[in-house]
Amino acid sequence: MAIIRPFKGLRPKEALAAQVAARPYDVLSSEEAKAAASGNPYSFYHVSKSEIDLPAGIDTHSQQVYDKAAENLQQLVKDGILFQDEQPSYYIYKLVMNGRAQTGLVTASAVADYNNGIIKKHEFTRPDKELDRINHIKTTLAQTGNVFLAYNDVPEVNALIERWQEHNKPLYDFTADDDIQHTIWAINTPAAVQEVTTLFAEKVPCTYIADGHHRAASASLVQKELQAAGKITSVENPANYFLTTIFPASQLAILDYNRVVKDLNGLSKADLLSRLDYDFTVEETGHHPLQPSMLHEFSMYLEGSWYRLVAKEGTYTTDPIGILDVTILSNNILDKLLDIKDQRTDKRIDFVGGIRGLQELVKRVDSGEMKVAFALYPVTIQQLFDIADSGNVMPPKSTWFEPKLRDGLLTHVI
């Protein structure tokens, strides 16, 4: 069963929450972070993307960058911009985007659960990205990035969270510049804290990583290193836990995660369309962007026109991995026709989150940067659970979750 603990959140003054809040470090470039933090000394980008305060061109994985992150975090605390709660609490985090709300529980989840498979994964991690987060955690002595978890709904947990929102004033309630509303409450009475802990221990057999595989893996590796060095002497040491926000599955929406490719692997347009006909029904639909409307349907943008592709029977299997549209695309087009064997390392392919819309695909192809684009129908949350339960992993860049949690509102100090 899931082990969670309350923690003493490091968080901003209420009046400064909107200025501190920053998008996750890995969804924007250094240049974008620098522009977003311009004129705002309180922005958490000074911690999560601290290269913005160092000379242009610096290696973002250098120790100087991590040292600057620690310095900036300490300065925010010294200046009273951030402070740490005096008692361990759980926190409720509600996000509203385009009228749709999702509400999660911010907790410290057990590293042991991650190691033992109680927290289930669906992606491989890359050592270079793990090392980046390891160095950031070890230098700042804080987990500044949230791991987004999901779980099958538990009515008692949902009811407790709803009651708390009804009867308690939020710590923060603001709408960010992207029109996403962020509201946070603290569950801080001993009775309520104990109720939450017990409910998860009795009612939640496992949780699933929706977003944040590298952050979770890094927390585990830091804990292992500290334990080997004899620096963890108690089971309740904060390093035995990592920062998570856990959402009920019924409230989550996964967006499409689309692909753009630089060339046709020596094929002409006519060659590609002819070869696609073996595995797909192909229909040209015109110049207007076409969003796939069901599983196994794809949209392709090539030389100014959109095409509807529907996978034929026999091009996929019914196992949890084989039935995924990202697998169908990978096996029957990217690998078979375009010779892209490893999407994680091949420089000819790039990925575009569905939040950017199909116009982003048009833009990148029409600019000449890319030759062809493919739009996919989103993976379902049940597909994600099925794959994690089976012990398999999804192809890279299969899921895109929105809205994103903000960094800086709650930090877990280790």
User: Among the CATH numbers 3.40.50, 3.30.1760, 2.40.50, 1.25.40, which is that of 257-377?
Assistant: 3.30.1760
Residues 87 and 308: their CA atoms lie apart, in Å, by 56
| Residue 27 clears pLDDT 90, i.e. is over it | no
User: Per-residue confidence at 234, pLDDT binned at 50, 70, 90?
Assistant: confident
**pLDDT of 179:** 93
Q: What is the 3-state secondary structure (H, E, C) of 265-324?
A: CCCCHHHHHHHHCCCEEEEEEECCCCCCCCCCEEEEEECCEEEEEEECCCCCCCCCCCCC
What confidence score (pLDDT) does residue 86 get?
94
Domain spans of the chain? 4-253+402-413, 257-377
Residue 294 CA to its chain's centroid (Å): 24
Residue 215 pLDDT exceeds 90: yes
Measure Cα distances from 331 to 38, 118, 228, 397 in Å: 44, 31, 43, 15
Q: Per residue in 110-166, pLDDT tens?
A: 999 999 999 999 888 888 888 999 999 999 999 999 999 999 999 999 999 999 999
Q: How many residues does the chain have?
A: 414
Predicted confidence at residue 356, as pLDDT, reads 82
Mean of the per-residue pLDDT values of the chain: 93
pLDDT in the model for residue 317: 86
Supply the pTM of this predicted model.
0.86
Percent of the chain with pLDDT over 70: 100
Integer Cα distance of 54 and 283 in angstroms: 51
Residues 6+ apart with CB under 8 A from 39: none
Provide the 10 A C-beta neighbour count for residue 115: 12
What is the per-residue pLDDT across 391-406, written as a single tens digit (0 to 9) for each?
Answer: 888 877 788 888 889 9
Q: How confident is the model at residue 83 (pLDDT cuts 50, 70, 90)?
A: very high
Average pLDDT estimate for 98-112? 95
